[in-house]
Chain A
Amino acid sequence: MNLFGEALRWIGDGSHWGGPGGIDTRIVQHLWVTFAAVGIAAVLAIPLGVLIGHTGRGRLVVVALAGAVRAVPTLGLLTLLGLAIGIGVEAPLLALVALAFPSLLAGAYAGIEAADPGAVDAARAVGMSEWQVVTRVEVPLGASVLIGGIRAATLQVVATATLAAYISDTGLGRYLFSGLKSRDYAQMLAGALLVAALALLLDLLMAALQRASSPTQGKVPS
């Protein structure tokens, strides 16, 4: 148990803050790679998911594909890309994009599909174009589920971004790996606690966002 105390003291130690390897720098790196990965994956996956949800086409193929992608061990993708692209932030970023993709896609199409068919039908009946049906009815109605997908993806990515440090000098995972190498358990545990805290914080934030976007808040033009 006093290992926890040591870890907390390690975090509190002023010499571990500031500078290129400081805790603050690492947190910023960790968040940056997380948001970049989720952002890139979102730009790719959400329009595709919305399209699938709206048209109902290609659903089975995409679902199966997304399922298979989930089965890929991220560490494998990471190391393969590391060897292919070289050591740097690009390889982990790409691997994390692949990790985020299925959750975002699933959230998007499930959100659109969850939109009340009656409301969608009514929107068409009052003369909305397909584009308007998507943007004014389906997306607002499915927003909560869609954001749930973003939440799941963010959680996975912020957790897995720890692995990025295995092939590049980035993020909070660095403390875990360098502590592991030098048998510095306090540093290792400190890194673990920081990542866990960051993940928890982000998840609580996303949960609040998801609640705020619940369709019962009602943004549907009638």
Chain B
Amino acid sequence: MTWLDTNRAYVLDMLVQHVRLAVPAIAISVLVAIVLGRIAWRWPRAGTVVLGIASLLYSVPALPLLIVIPVLLGIPLRSGLTLVVALAVYGTALLAGTAADAFRSVDPRVREAAEAMGYSRTGLFWKVDLPLAVPVLLSGIRVITVSTVSLVTIGALVGIPSLGNLLTDGFQRDIRAEIVVGVLGTMLLAIALDVLLVVAGALLTPWRERRPRRARATTASAVPAVEGAA
């Protein structure tokens, strides 16, 4: 860990860069996926097309996407925006189907009763559908958060700085400690964001019956697993 001691500022800088790329990409994914998921839920036929395109996009590998997007949008290859767009495309593709499932998971009896009581169309969405879709939606957001944080590292290959720089730099200069710090840093960031999401989920869904035994098991096992993988 002596490498970390002498390079703390650099690592911190890369961590900040990493967050700046990952968080907007995740946020855009969530917003766009909710819109697409809602469309797919509301109009199943259009939904099949939308979700089909999404899964097609998802099968385009990330690194090539980083090269195709600048060409398509006319933005510089090494711009952070390229990576954010690429990861947002990815995240959206992965999340749109889950978002549609999330809306489908809302009990139709509840929706109907709410409508009959006099919720307006927008009220129904914001006050009933969206809050009740949170549990399923959140499970999908957790998946794309982990994958997005991990994929940000690939940006280092085309010169977009993040914790991924520790991986490429460590490889080129044969400093294993640097790579280990990069890997661990990325994983810790993913876990930190995941914990945040779980907490946010618990705060947003106080009505759900908690199964404390299971919740404890997941958080407890995540930590030793990190050590094992390192």
Whether the complex brings A and B within 8 Å at their CB atoms is answered yes
A80 to B168, CA, bound (A): 10
Partner of A83 from B157, B171, B190 at Cβ < 8 Å:
B171
Chain A CB within 10 A, most for which of B61, B164, B180, B217: B61
Instruction: Tell me the minimal C-beta distance from A185 to chain B in angstroms.
Output: 8
Tell me whether A67 is interfacial, beta carbon within 8 Å.
Answer: yes
Tell me whether B191 is interfacial, beta carbon within 8 Å.
Answer: yes
Tell me whether B79 is interfacial, beta carbon within 8 Å.
Answer: no
Chain A proximity mask over B177-211: 1 for CB below 8 Å, otherwise 0: 00110110011001100000000000000000000
A1 to B171, CA, bound (A): 35
Q: Is the CB of B150 within 8 A of A73?
A: yes
Q: Assuming the A-B contacts A73-B150, A77-B183, A199-B61, are A65 and B228 also in contact, with contact meaning beta carbons closer than 8 angstroms in the complex?
A: yes
Tell me whether A144 is interfacial, beta carbon within 8 Å.
Answer: no
List A contacts of B167 (CB < 8 A). Answer: 73, 75-76, 79
Residue of A nearest to B58 (CB): A155
List A contacts of B186 (CB < 8 A). Answer: 71-73, 76
- The segment out of B105-113, B129-137, B218-226 that lies at the interface is B218-226
Which residues of A in the span 40-92 have a Cβ within 8 Å of any Cβ on B? 60-61, 64-65, 67-77, 79-80, 82-84
Tell me whether A109 is interfacial, beta carbon within 8 Å.
Answer: no
Chain B CB within 10 A, most for which of A64, A79, A189, A195: A79
Q: Assuming the A-B contacts A162-B64, A176-B63, are A83 and B146 also in contact, with contact meaning beta carbons closer than 8 angstroms in the complex?
A: no
Residue of A nearest to B182 (CB): A76
Instruction: Tell me the minimal C-beta distance from B104 to chain A in angstroms.
Output: 19
Tell me whether A203 is interfacial, beta carbon within 8 Å.
Answer: yes
Q: Is the CB of A3 within 8 A of B71?
A: yes
A61 to B220, CA, bound (A): 10
List B contacts of A83 (CB < 8 A). Answer: 170-171, 174, 176, 179
Q: Is the CB of B157 within 8 A of A196?
A: no
Tell me whether A140 is interfacial, beta carbon within 8 Å.
Answer: no
Tell me whether B89 is interfacial, beta carbon within 8 Å.
Answer: no
List B contacts of A75 (CB < 8 A). Answer: 153-154, 156-157, 164, 167-168
Chain B proximity mask over A180-197: 1 for CB below 8 Å, otherwise 0: 100001001101110110
Q: Is the CB of B63 within 8 A of A192?
A: yes
Partner of B64 from A71, A79, A192 at Cβ < 8 Å:
A192
List A contacts of B214 (CB < 8 A). Answer: 60
List B contacts of A167 (CB < 8 A). Answer: 171
Instruction: Tell me the minimal C-beta distance from B215 to chain A in angstroms.
Output: 11
Chain A proximity mask over B149-170: 1 for CB below 8 Å, otherwise 0: 1110110111000011001101
Q: Is the CB of A163 within 8 A of B225?
A: no
Which residues of A in the span 130-160 have a Cβ within 8 Å of any Cβ on B? 155, 158-160
